[in-house]
Structure 1
Amino acid sequence: MTKPRHRLSHFTAAAVRLFGGEAGAGLLLISVALIALVLANSPWATPWHDLFHHLLPITPIGRLNSLHAWINDGLMAVFFFVVGLEIKREVLDGELSQAEQRRLPVLAAALGMAVPALVYLLVTREVPSLRAGWAIPAATDIAFAVGVIALLGKGLPPSLRLFLLTVAIVDDLGAVIIIAVFYTAGLQLGWLAAGAFVLAAMAALGRCGVRNGWAFAVGAVLAWFCVLHSGIHATVAGVLAALTVPIGLDRRGESLLLRMEHVLAPISAFVVVPIFALANAGVAIPRALPHGAALLLPLGIGLGLLGGKTIGIFGAVWLAERSGFAKRPAGATWLQMLGLAALCGIGFTMSLFIAGLAFAASPALIEDAKLGVLGGSLLAGLAGYAVLRWSQRPA
């Protein structure tokens, strides 16, 4: 499909130039996470926490009564909208458009989500109240992982990065399904029907040849508002709305889906996700490490991210090649596949997001979960970087 001749907005273009694309997005996210972590353990910890969690004096939407709620339930819908655009593009016109191309990424993503969940459930099996967090270590943070790949330079085969991207796309789709199915309670059928009607109307606009981006943007906001009140997490509406955006070329030879993705992807990477990190990555590090039952939650998450992801993804590639189901990425060594599998254990953004859903009624458990996410992601990133760097050494 022809790439649309579209100019990025001045803001997004400047962000890409300033931070250097994918590597810059990962470095920015790391920097913001460190700032949040430092502030959460500084003399300004209390006002920093209150900034996001105190009730707002005025809010146009009652359900969003704090800055933290506006970020997690509102702003993050933009992130999920971009995820939806990427999923549709890859499935219809990308690396997931053909069955033989989908085999390995789908298998790797499936085992890469299942094995960490099993590791988590095994570690926390003695505490039933922790079972709700099984999906926390199942997600991969594409910004961090691709950022690390970019920092390693051009010594790695291009197929390795492409495999990471396709696995992450399938992983994101799996995470969205998990959120919609397992973290939904108290459905409001009226609001759900209204949201479905809006999405159907957006799909009809696309079929009728409408290519006005503002029409789909307004529709996405309406769908988000309905889903927000339906009981399903509002960010799911971002993905569903994105799937209605047409990818076909218009009279000028441009694709509305690609045009919207080119504008929104930098905003998501350089604005939305860093703001989410500021609001969610700050965790007060205890003076004494958790022990006993309190240790099981961060330990289960950390081991799931570091060990479960590595075993699941590397094992999937090994099984696929040994059985003839699919071949590993062209030019990639087994050592590089091991390093890439470890990198996929960086769960940061989506893992923090799911932790907030899993333990919404228990702030203390959310803080413990953050320790596991940050610790596991850090170790997975360092391990993946070290293995991939070692794989670049001359034989």
Structure 2
Amino acid sequence: MASMRNGGMWLLPAVLLGLLGLGFHQLFALRFDAGDVYPAYSSFRADPLGAKILFEALEAMPHVDVEQRLKPFAEMDGTNSTALFLGGSTGSLLHETERDLRPFVESGGRAVLAFGSVEPRINKSKKKDDEPKGDSAEMNEWVSVSESDGRIDWEVELEEFVRSDLTEIEQETEALPEAAVGLPSIPWKSALWFSELGEEWTVLYRYLGKPVVVERPYRKGSLVLLADSYAFCNEAMVQDRHTAFLIRMIGAPARILFDEQHLGVHSQEGVMMLVNRYRLQGVLFVLLAIAGLFVWQRSTSFIPRHEEESGPNDIGSGVGSMSGFNNLLLRHIPQKKLLETMVSEWIATFARTPSMQAKRTRLESELRNLDAGKHPVETYNKLTQILNERK
């Protein structure tokens, strides 16, 4: 019984820990399903700020391989492929992708780089020198990089509308296509625009007369720059989707890559990464259940154990002849009463056993004919011989 009680003591904490782990799993599952743990415009994010709807829509298309890229593009072949960089920081997106993108674009890939929406800031002429530098302060630092150092020469600058343009920005909510493009207008949320465009660039869309979507060929591939990523996000997919615009930006490749690394989402190979990749969550839960059963089995027995509750001086059906004789001696019975007491105890034990009635009669007869001068041990041996006789 003690082992069963110990098993119960182990089982209760195990059940409580299991319920606690299940609760944490559900909590994190809800967070990751919504995706708000990921940056804005991430294809893992399912709320209005993410791009999961576009990713899943493209993934459902036949004959198209869609991938969430968590590693650098270095030395990747871009043949018949499109890479989407959505929601990038204005001061770092091009710096981080220039060198990695060059082999991809040169081999025939199409790179679509869309910046995150930026609110209009104060007038440049009023900006103080000691004001903290952010993305806006880095606008013009990545322009016209030479190809001699192994980078792409972008030949473009990025500017912002300032507060003096706020009235026009509030009134104008769409970017208009160039006449030759033949595309519909699209919703626009950002104050960014491109300037100092090189001859290779073609303007596709303008906002307040400024270029906001531009495209250029580069070797075998092409580059597309967008000053806003809103048209790709989940909110736009639900409320104001423009399929023709998306097709023009992405093209018709056999492979589409959603880059997540520029948003800070990196791949870290580990046990849980392999579990998620090969969908082994069920196997993991089975292993945990087996481990719990092993601990339970080691702490208790499924078969109840027999525990003797009889004391050292008790005689029962499970006690042998020598043990019974020793118990009689320990009770300090007088020598004259020893054999009589022994027989009385035997009769009391087997009084209801039919097969022992014949031996009972012989024992009582032998005890009545007992020679008073005979040694008790000899008489005990005689009585034992009677008990051991077989029919």
TM-score, normalising length: structure 1 = 0.20
Larger proportion of helix: 1
The higher radius of gyration belongs to 2
Larger proportion of strand: 2
TM-score, normalising length: structure 2 = 0.20
